[in-house]
Amino acid sequence: MTADPTPPWDQGEHHMRADSAINADRDPFPTRTRPSRSRPPRRGGRRRRAGAAIALATAASLALPLTAYAAPGFATSSTPTAGTEAATGSDAAAAVVDGPLVDYVNPFIGTKDDGNTYPGAAVPFGMVQLSPDNGHNVGYDYDRTSVRGFSLVHLSGVGCGLGGPLPTLPTTGAITSTDYGQYALGFSHDDEEASPGYYRVGLQAAAGTIEAELTATARTGVQRYTFPATAQANVLLNAGQALNRVTESDVRVVDDRTVETRITVRGFCQDTEPQTIWTRTTFDRPFVAHGTWDGATVTASSDTASGGEGRRGAYVTFDTTGGDLDVEAVTAMSFVGADGAAANLAAEAGTFDAVHDAARTAWEERLGLVQVAQGAEDDLRTFYSSLYRSFLAPNVGSDVDGRYRGWDQEVHAAEPGFTYYQNYSLWDTYRTQQQLLYLLAPDESADMALSLVRQGQQGGWLPRWGYGTVETNIMTGDPATPFLVSAWRQGLLTGHEEEAYAVLKENADGVPPADSPFNGRAANVEYLRDGFVPHEPARSGKPGDYDLQHGASATMEYALADAMLSTMARGLGHDEDADRYAARGQSYRNVFDPRTGNFRARNADGFFVGDADPAHSDGFHEGTAVQYQWLAQQDVPGLFDLMGGTDAAVDRLDAFFAYDELVADPARVASEVWVNGTYDYYGWETYNPNNEPNLHAPYVYLWTGQPWKTTDVVRAAATLFTDGPDGVTGNDDLGTMSAWHVLSSIGVYPIVPGTDLWGLTTPLFDDVTITLDPEVFGRDSLHLTADGVARDAHYTQSVSLGGEPLDRAWVTGDELTAAGTLDVAVGTAPSAWATDPAASPGAVVPADGTVERLFVGATPRQPVLAPGGQTDVAVQVVAQGAGTSTGTLEVTSDGAVTATTDLAEWTAESDGLPATVEGTVTLAAAADAEPGVHTVRLVVHDAAGTEAVREISVVVSGESWIAGAFDNVGIGDAGAANANLDGSGAYLLRDLLADLGVVQGLELTVPGTDLTYLLGAAPAGEPDNVAANGQVLEVPEAQRGARTLSLVGTATHGTQRGDLVLGFADGTSQTTQVALSDWCTGSPEPGNILVAKPGARGNGTGTDRFGCGLYATAPVTLPEGKVLTSLTLPRNTRFHVFAVATDATGVAPAPQVEVTAQARCMGGKAFVAVRALNTGEQPAAIELATPYGSKLFAEVVPGANAYQSFATRAAAVEAGEVTVTVTAPDGEPQQVTAAYDAAACS
């Protein structure tokens, strides 16, 4: 770069001593201008590249949509018409960039339709992004009309709630609510404007309009409020609410101008480790009143409020009736501590106008690094807006004194010349934004790369999606590796190469320990052993995304990362590692199914699983097999071979992009034929320009000898970027989509992350000048031209590099920086340029040998048999090796279950790919087989002596006592359409439940209780649950000893409730309300117990990615002394009962009788008197038996006696014992004994 874009207050900050005295109480609003300090020196030699340089490319002519929209001030107007296409070059009046470039930026682009950008104020890579929050989960949505507050942290384009600490809002009048959703103030887009580093809005308060203005430095946010004249001009500082979960908050009013807070938050899409920020806010004049709130309680004049979760904050009040209507506030933040926030405030605070001017200057310098000409007005606005968003992250994490909180949660001091950065959406940014920032901000990029290394060292593992000081575990694969390998190849890690390699190697070869918050490469054990990540949606790991739930795409991403790491290992001289990683880089081949010709997920047995239709296949994260099929940039020629050759690959590309239609109407195809919804991840066969996995796919044409098709496709995709609030594709993902747009517009695109290969097509603009840092690149600029480019003249005819002809559609960075110029001649039709096969970029890590692997398994994994029953299970042998493989399969079993197979010998045509051979194993259970689990062993050998073993757990089932009432099929098999739980064809998956230990036919226990139950082992397609509708279930004798019960089941279409009637033996009953959670809920009903929740459910064609499961109702305790004889289910057919869980022992309850026996005398003769009192709640047959006779009483009602005197015909009787046999209706006889003493009657 030729000019330092760092704001004056941020220059030289790394030379402050960590122990220097800082006066935190000095006036933060000086009237004098702070002198700028000199720029810190570069670290010696750190920018020299490691034998590889950036290579630039030119991308397709991008004609962007015409639009009537302009942001306020950018002032609000209307939204553009979808599908229109802007003219460029000679097709429209060309705009010469005139005036400040910041005026071409519209911060409102992407604030609608899930772009999730923010319109507020920030400086490039600043710690603070001060922006309005209006109720959307990530902060701001253009369609909402009230502001809850202006908070300090917003990350551009994230997909879940994140940041938003300390929302601060000016109000007037009495404070009547402490919930920012309630005290929010309305606004109109007619009174709202934004530009880089500035935001303004008119808020509709009780006493009149409050004008709120925002600007920022790197570590502070500055607000200026212009109140109406009022004695109650308030500022509310809300410490207890944010865009993610606040778990603790403290607020302290320090003096009559200063407020401090400490805020601890956690969560991003799912739970995370907690992290804390500290803030210090200073006002430019004293407030006249203040107070705090805790919950709903507001306490005037209170200085502090502190606690855990819950609303908490402070308010300050100003009197503006004297004519001074303006109030300015500066808030600094720190991840280190309160002293850090105070130091940041002292170093960076300034008047609003001074800070705004500095922020505007910083942005003008950044945007000026890329100068374009000859573009339509809207093209320039969308282009510079995308460039602006590309500079918003990662973000400074260190304080002005160089201290930062590392991922070990300890405070570290940055070495001189190093700024610590955080917030890395790596799964996204490694593909585009990292490379763009290297071009335009190499100093910062070096610190960003080293910061990521530090996070790996201090946290113990490399992150995938780091926010602040914690890993969120969001997204899958191994994105840190291509990110850091790119940085190494770019020379950004000079002096730290081995440090970086050490953390990368640990990450690539290991799995984080159980006590680590990182998921890391969670499937590495399986991947390194088997060559692929198994797709196991029922398995789960730590909070966040889990690779084994996305096995196919995780395999492809691991392979790409390994291939890139092999190049770094080779460059650093670790040749054995390089060979190992290069071989693993071919693992993408292990999830290619030659039977279908597509990538597919495999389970732990090695089987290909899920729908064979690639648009509906399982195991791909946020995408389909169709979209992921191009994610093998390390070996595109090898990928084409899998597809049947280059011509077949072209056919796939043409179908993927709907190319024939696209040529005729690019804008319509882009908006209607391609995937057009931000979250429409699944079920599509076309390109998804809204998400990352296939962003590079247009450039795959460069390997086919048809580079003009890249031009056409990129041009069509660019029509989706507009000047309206919905003018980005998908979530912007911390600048990823914006960087794609910038690189494609100026004619550069990194076609293989981790290398210096850049693809070439036609730029949108006829003249592009990129300012470079000569210390990094050896020259101060790159000049790219495409004279005469226009909508109808956008095809490359020839290219000259440094004045010399270039007949290939890619360059290396060394070539481009040595040449300094790239000139593209354009025409109205495709040409022969770069069509020779030799012009292909080739393979970075080509195939080098074939791995021999062997797998065997059966489906289902836990088959269920009744005693005396028989069933067939599908068995597969998957062999991978060179040419043809042959072998044998042997099955063995225990005596209770026998097993035979028709696959005793097999042959598979592999040719290096996993080849599948299918057969059958027939299982039969003996008639007297005991219910339980029996083992069948499958052993397969190939001709080379390789062995694979798999054990099948065969369940010999018991019988459910509610099976007679089953009337709904809720458990089925993937793709079989053999169940329908919800009435819409969706159902629970038998194998995934079994993987979680919930097996039909086995006695199971409700987690955390002693309640046991048995799921009915119904044959596939037969009813297995009761759709409750008032059915009366008779309780068998063995269950009547229960004291506690719970219904095991699930609900559809929301949580369902109903009355459960318990019938007792004494004829009484009890009604209790029970509830079951919706089967796919993320928020179970309070009191429900999760039994099992797999990560997918079945449907008629395969599976979908909804986590749905079984629950147990809150346990019901029976009244003391009552014997349960019946259950009457609720009348609610959306309430599905699969089993009744009880604490009964399975033994009938002991007879409830009181027995007395006594020997007596009458008339000189002895007799034995026996009395049995029925103390139970049901009639019983009672038989009294003595040595002198017996008596049966057929029905003794509760509370009645069975009494009999037995004559001995003797004058004396010895001591003895009587036996009383009690038989309840439908029960087994139970006996009670009682003794009597001797008696003499003489």
Taking only the tens place, the pLDDT of each residue in 1006-1054 is 999 999 999 998 888 999 999 999 999 999 988 999 999 999 999 999 9
pLDDT at 260 over 90: yes
- Residues 872, 875: Cα–Cα separation, whole Å: 9
Q: How many domains does the chain have?
A: 5
Mean pLDDT to the nearest integer, 835-851: 87
Is the dihedral angle over the CA atoms 71, 75, 81, 85 positive or is it negative? negative
C-alpha closest to that of 136 among 114, 108, 109? 114
pLDDT of 48 = 33
Bigger pLDDT: 25 or 921?
921
Tell me the pLDDT band of 995, cut-offs 50, 70 and 90. confident
Please state the rounded mean pLDDT for residues 408-425: 97
853-859 and 810-812 beta bridge pairing? unpaired
330 and 221 Cβ atoms separated by less than 8 Å: yes
Whether 429 is covered by a domain: the verdict is: no
Query: In this predicted structure, what is the pLDDT of residue 975?
Result: 79
3-state SS track over 956-990: ECCCCCCHHHCCECCEECCCCCCCCCCCCCCEEEH
Band (95; pLDDT cuts 50, 70, 90): low
Residue 680 pLDDT exceeds 60: yes
Q: Per mean pLDDT, which range of 23-32, 59-68, 179-188, 269-278 is the poorest?
A: 59-68
| One domain, residues 1054 and 920 | no
> pLDDT (tens digit, 9 = 90+) per residue, 968-984?
999 998 878 999 999 99
- Domain-terminating residue out of 1142, 1162, 1196: 1142
Q: Which residue's entry shows tokens 């090695």?
A: 606
- Alpha-carbon distance of 890 to 280, in angstroms, equals 72
| Residue 80 scores a pLDDT above 90 | no
Mean local confidence (pLDDT), 146-153: 98
Q: What is the mean pLDDT of residues 619-636?
A: 97
Tell me the mean pLDDT in the region 52-60: 28
Residue with tokens 């280059």: 646
Distance (Å, rounded) from C-alpha 654 to C-alpha 648?
10
For residue 389, being part of any structural domain is answered with: no
Counts for the chain of helices (H) and strands (E), in that order: 22, 72
Q: Answer yes or no: is 514 within a domain.
A: no
pLDDT band at 1178 (very low <50, low <70, confident <90, very high): confident
pLDDT value of position 1102: 73
Percent of the chain scoring above 70 in pLDDT: 91
In 3D space, the residue among 1104, 1133, 1113 whose CA is nearest the CA of residue 1025 turns out to be 1133
Angle made by CA atoms 540, 546, 552, in degrees to the nearest 5: 115
Domain shared by 862 and 842, yes or no: no
Q: For residues 1202 and 1083, state if they share a domain.
A: no
Res. 122: pLDDT tops 50? yes
Element (H, E) at 457: helix 442-459
Question: Is the peptide bond prior to 394 cis by the omega test (within 30 degrees of 0)?
Answer: yes
Burial of 1118 (0-12, 13-18, 19+ CB in 10 A): middle
Rg (CA), the chain: 37
Distances (CA, A) of 842 to 646, 801, 979, 1099, 1171: 12, 20, 49, 41, 99
Q: At 1214, which CATH number?
A: 2.60.40.10
Q: How confident is the model at residue 570 (pLDDT cuts 50, 70, 90)?
A: very high
**Residue 229 is assigned to a structural domain of this protein:** yes
Higher-pLDDT residue of 83, 938: 938
pLDDT at position 87 over 70 = no
The pLDDT score that the predictor gives to residue 39 is: 29
pLDDT band at 1150 (very low <50, low <70, confident <90, very high): low
CA atoms lying within 13 Å on the CB side of residue 668: 7
Q: Does residue 922 lie in a domain region?
A: yes
CB 863 within 8 A of CB 955: yes
The answer, yes or no, to whether residue 307 has pLDDT greater than 80, is: yes
Statement to judge: residues 196 and 330 lie in one domain: yes
The full length of the chain comes to 1242
| Distance linking the first and last C-alpha atoms of the chain | 127
Q: Are 222 and 329 in contact (CB under 8 A)?
A: yes
Asked if pLDDT for residue 20 goes beyond 50, the answer is: no
Q: Are residues 894 and 831 in the same domain?
A: no
Q: How far is CA 757 from CA 219, 420, 615, 811, in A?
A: 36, 29, 30, 6
Q: Are 363 and 123 in contact (CB under 8 A)?
A: yes
pLDDT in tens, 459-510: 999 999 999 999 999 999 999 999 999 999 999 999 999 999 999 999 999 9
| Residue 152 and residue 176 in contact, taking contact as beta carbons nearer than 8 Å | no
761 belongs to a structural domain:
yes
DSSP 321-354: TTS--EEEEEEEEESS-HHHHHHHHHHH---HHH
What average pLDDT does the structure give for the chain? 90
* In a shared domain, residues 713 and 794: yes
- 24: pLDDT strictly greater than 50: no
Residue 33 has pLDDT above 60, yes or no: no
Query: Residue 429's pLDDT band (boundaries 50, 70, 90)?
Result: very high
- Whether 41 has a pLDDT exceeding 70, the answer reads no
Interacting residues of 225 by C-beta distance below 8 A, sequence separation 6+: 170, 210, 211, 212, 213, 233, 235, 326, 327, 328, 329
Give me the residue label for tokens 């002394």: 1121
Give yes or no for residue 1105 having a pLDDT over 80: no
The answer to which of 483-487, 709-713, 1096-1100, 1225-1229 has the lowest mean pLDDT is 1225-1229
Q: What is the pLDDT of residue 1227?
A: 65
DSSP result, 533-597: ----TT---SSS--GGGGHHHHHHHHHHHHHHHHHHHHHTT-HHHHHHHHHHTTGGGGGEETTTT
* Per-residue pLDDT, 816: 85
Question: What's the domain range around 640?
Answer: 43-94+621-846
**Residue 20 included in any domain:** no
Alpha-carbon distance 945 to 938, whole Å? 16
pLDDT at residue 373 in the model: 87
Q: Final residue of a domain: which of 896, 915, 935?
A: 935
In a domain, 1111, yes or no: yes
* Residues in contact with 718: Cβ distance below 8 Å, sequence separation at least 6, in sequence order: 60, 62, 63, 64, 741, 744, 745, 764
Tell whether the model's pLDDT for residue 579 goes beyond 50. Answer: yes
Select, from the ranges 792-801, 807-816, 1226-1235, the one with the highest average predicted confidence (pLDDT). 792-801
Decide which of 935, 953, 972 is a domain's last residue.
Answer: 935
Percent of the chain with pLDDT over 90: 79
Give yes or no: residues 1043 and 1134 share one domain.
yes
- Tell me, what amino acid is at 251? V
Kindly state the tokens that stand for 1198: 């509760």
Categorize the per-residue pLDDT at 173 as very low, low, confident or very high, splitting at 50, 70 and 90.
very high
Q: Are residues 996 and 884 in the same domain?
A: no
The pLDDT score that the predictor gives to residue 74 is 47
149-151 and 131-133 strand pairing:
antiparallel
Distance of CA 744 to the CA centre of its chain: 28
b/e burial code for range 1159-1187 (CB count within 10 A of at least 16 → b): beeeeeebbbbbbbbbebbbbbbbbbbbe
Query: Quick check: 601 and 619 in contact, CB under 8 A?
Result: yes
What mean pLDDT do residues 1108-1120 have? 96
Same domain, 349 and 270: yes
Query: Is residue 977 located within the same domain as residue 1098?
Result: yes
Task: Give the amino acid at 23.
Answer: N
| Stretch 108-112: mean pLDDT | 97
Average pLDDT over residues 572-592: 97
Beta-carbon contacts of 357 under 8 Å, excluding residues fewer than 6 positions away, are none
Residues 88 and 116 grouped into a single domain: no
Q: Which helix (H) or strand (E) holds 1126?
A: strand 1124-1128
CATH number at residue 698: 3.30.2080.10
Q: Running DSSP on this structure, what letter comes out for residue 1039?
A: G
Asked if residue 113 and residue 77 are part of one domain, the reply reads: no
Tell me, what's the pLDDT at 77?
34
- Closest C-alpha among 1178, 1195, 1186, 1182 to residue 1222: 1182
pLDDT band at residue 817 using 50, 70 and 90 as cut-offs: confident
pLDDT of amino acid 1162: 85
